[in-house]
Amino acid sequence: MMNRKIITIGFCILATSLLTFSCKNTTTAAPQDKLVIPVDKAKFLNGGLAEPITIETRTLSDGSSADCYKIVVKSTPTDHAMGPWCPTNISDDASAGGIWLENGKVYDVDGAFVKNLAQFYKDSTWAMYNKATGAITKTKTEADCREAANPNVGEEYKNYCVECLPSYVANLSHTYYIPVRPKAAAKPYEFSKGPGGPGGPDGPEGHPKPDGERGPKPSHDSTPSTRGLAFNGIVFDAPAPTDRILGAYTLAPFDDAGGHINLNAGYHYHAATGLSTRIAQTDQHAAMIGYAMDGYGLYENTDSKGTDYKDLDALRGHYDSVRGYHYHVDKAGNNNFINGLRGEFAE
């Protein structure tokens, strides 16, 4: 049986003492919002929790102390099915596979998509199926999953569709800390530009390196690559480095919910497609889908009529008199959620 692993992150209530900012934050005063919405722990689904939510005092990114929600979650969602990811044969329709994100668009990974990879990427090296039988070459075991996700993936896994299964991470759990009452930073923490999008991680399968480190971090030295947490306990992760995945002539599809599995990270999202728990708003505003790591709310990309928001700041956030400051996640095809954190986060 796989050893139970714990990773830690959290939600915080800020201390009221005077804060001392690092040199990068000394020239700008933190925004003062008239309305600040605390994190509501009741919004998290009990089925996704490995233990009850508690409060701990944590150090925030500006050096102050704060009470934080400690949220220990399971590695699998309870509000939607996971998979499938890789189809089995080039004759399979879209129901047999997941999705792929490319240049702002979402593509069904059906048999035809795999068959036409050479044409899609204009590279004849792509040949991920048996021409005689139509069978698609894909990972079949946990060992395959581990080797195909290795940063130095071997030639034997070239032209493999990478599909890691929920049973491989059944005993994995994670701990997160996010401020209960968000605190605006004097200067936002913008995510650095990494492979596949802002702050993309290192591993070729799109996630942690073998030692579990979650790849290049945003511009603040200790800012987490994790963008936020869905109500089902699943992470909204940094962009998958699709360039590195494709560079190894592998394909690591996401399921229809925008998620896939890595042995260190477990199941996690790279796109918001509307399948995880949504909390509808009464004023046609976009539905809420979770919290960012600074405690500000995460909402869908468009409002209930499908209209884009035109007044978002560089982080993909804005303020209104009902929800206070909050974020709207990026379109699914952009392999991204938000572009930075407006608030302080738990170290």
Q: For 241-250, how does the pLDDT look when each residue is reduced to its tens digit (9 = 90+)?
A: 899 899 999 9
Total structural domains within the chain = 1
Give strand pairing partners of 236: 228, 269
The CB-side HSE value for 123 (13 A sphere, CA atoms) comes to 11
Portion of the chain with pLDDT greater than 90, in percent: 77
Would you call the peptide bond into 84 cis, given omega within 30 degrees of 0 as the criterion? yes
Instruction: For residue 1, tell me if it sits in a domain.
Output: no
Domain coverage including residue 209: 11-343
Alpha carbons 99 and 119: distance in angstroms, whole number: 18
Instruction: For residue 2, tell me if it sits in a domain.
Output: no
Pick from 333, 322, 314: which is nearest to 242 by CA?
A: 333
pLDDT per residue over 87-142, tens digit each?
999 999 999 999 999 999 999 999 999 999 999 999 999 999 999 999 999 999 99
Instruction: For residue 261, tell me if it sits in a domain.
Output: yes
Instruction: State the pLDDT at residue 213.
Output: 31
Instruction: Tell me the average pLDDT across 263-282.
Output: 97
Instruction: For residue 266, tell me if it sits in a domain.
Output: yes
pLDDT per residue over 49-101, tens digit each?
999 999 999 999 999 999 999 999 998 999 999 999 999 999 999 999 999 99
Instruction: State the pLDDT at residue 195.
Output: 44
Instruction: For residue 267, tell me if it sits in a domain.
Output: yes
Instruction: For residue 3, tell me if it sits in a domain.
Output: no
The answer to whether the CB of 213 falls within 8 A of the CB of 224 is no
Alpha carbons 296 and 139: distance in angstroms, whole number: 38
Selected residue with higher pLDDT from 197 and 167: 167
Position 202 confidence tier, pLDDT thresholds 50, 70, 90: very low
Alpha carbons 300 and 223: distance in angstroms, whole number: 23
> Residue 196 CB: number of other CB atoms within 10 A?
22
Instruction: For residue 20, tell me if it sits in a domain.
Output: yes
Pick from 2, 6, 11, 8: which is nearest to 181 by CA?
A: 11
Alpha carbons 336 and 104: distance in angstroms, whole number: 10
Q: Is the pLDDT of residue 214 over 50?
A: no
The answer to whether the CB of 199 falls within 8 A of the CB of 32 is no
Instruction: For residue 5, tell me if it sits in a domain.
Output: no
Instruction: State the pLDDT at residue 347.
Output: 83
